[in-house]
Amino acid sequence: MQNNTTGQDLKESLSIIERMIAEGRHTTERWGWTFVLWGVAFYLAFAWSAWSHSGWAWPATMLIAVIVTVIVASLKAGDDPQTTLGRAIGSIWIALGISMFVLFLALGLSGRLTDQHVFVAVMSAILGMANAASGLILRWKVQLACAVAWWLTVLASCFGSDAQSFIVFMIAIFLCQIVFGIYGIIAEVQVRKRTV
pLDDT tens digit sequence for 162-177: 999 999 999 999 999 9
Q: What percent of the chain has pLDDT over 70?
A: 83
Q: What's the pLDDT score for residue 170?
A: 96
| Domain hosting residue 12, numbered range | 7-195
Distance CA 180, CA 193 (A): 20
Q: Which tens digits make up the pLDDT trace of 133-165? A: 999 988 889 999 999 999 999 999 999 999 999
What's the total number of domains in the chain? 1
Complete DSSP assignment for 57-107: HHHHHHHHHHHHHHHHHHHH--SPPPPHHHHHHHHHHHHHHHHHHHHHHHH
- The arithmetic mean of pLDDT across residues 94-114, rounded, is 81
* Residue 2 belongs to a domain: no
Q: Which amino acid is at 115?
A: D
> Against a cut of 0.75, is the pTM above it?
yes
Q: What's the pLDDT score for residue 1?
A: 46
* Residue 20 belongs to a domain: yes
Compute the C-alpha angle 157/46/120, nearest 5°. Answer: 20
| Averaged pLDDT score across all residues of the chain | 84
More confident site: 21 or 111: 111
Q: Which amino acid is at 19?
A: R
2, pLDDT greater than 60: no
First CA to last CA across the chain, in angstroms? 48
Q: What's the pLDDT score for residue 81?
A: 60
Neighbours of 180 (CB within 10 A): 22
46, pLDDT greater than 90: no
* Residue 1 belongs to a domain: no
* Residue 72 belongs to a domain: yes
Q: What percent of the chain has pLDDT over 90?
A: 42
Q: Strand, helix or coil at 2?
A: coil
User: Do 61 and 45 contact (CB within 8 A), yes or no?
Assistant: yes
- The arithmetic mean of pLDDT across residues 6-29, rounded, is 66
